[in-house]
Amino acid sequence: MLMTIGFVLSVFLTCSSDIGRENLIKYDDSDDGIVSYYDKNSIKRKSGIVQVWEEERYNTPESLREQIDQCNGDYEQQNKCDRLSFSKVLWEIDCEQDKVRLLISNIYNKDGNILFHSSYHYSGAREYINPNTIMDKLKNCVCK
């Protein structure tokens, strides 16, 4: 019983609203400067499956490094990457099977314009959600 209360309290404290953006719920704040939110207004549920938009804000140079490295020295791409600020991803989470798949990924600049867009087929296989990961935190927030 005490363990259940602790888990519920942990999820409540982990999934908190960010002041000024009431629809965005912060669920992770990493040591490298990436702050992760989900949009509570975007949640769609059907038969144990949840679709939700996630937003990641890159608040430090370290948090941008991985994204910039993906540009692979291409000058045009590097020019875009130098201005990137945040990403939005549409996830599909199977709450009962602890699986997830990526549907859409957008990377934005500081002005809110899309720099990169990727769409993925709905028929793609779902991957298992590893325990104690950021995706596990998101699942715990939206599958309750």
Summarize pLDDT for 12-64 with one digit per residue, the tens.
445 655 444 689 999 999 888 889 999 999 999 999 999 999 999 988 777 77
3-state DSSP assignment of residue 127: strand
Q: What is the CATH number for 132?
A: 2.40.128
User: What total number of domains does the chain contain?
Assistant: 1
Range of the domain at 95: 2-142
**Would you state the pLDDT for residue 21?**
66
With a CB cutoff of 8 Å and minimum separation 6, the contacts of 28 are 14, 34, 35, 36, 134, 137, 138
pLDDT at position 24 is 96
User: For residue range 100-141, what is the model confidence (pLDDT) as tens digits?
Assistant: 999 999 988 888 888 888 887 666 789 999 999 999 999 999
Which two structure tokens, joined as six digits, stand for 133?
Answer: 């990961």
Query: In 2-132, which ranges are E strands?
Result: 16-18, 21-29, 34-39, 44-46, 49-58, 84-94, 99-109, 114-119, 127-128
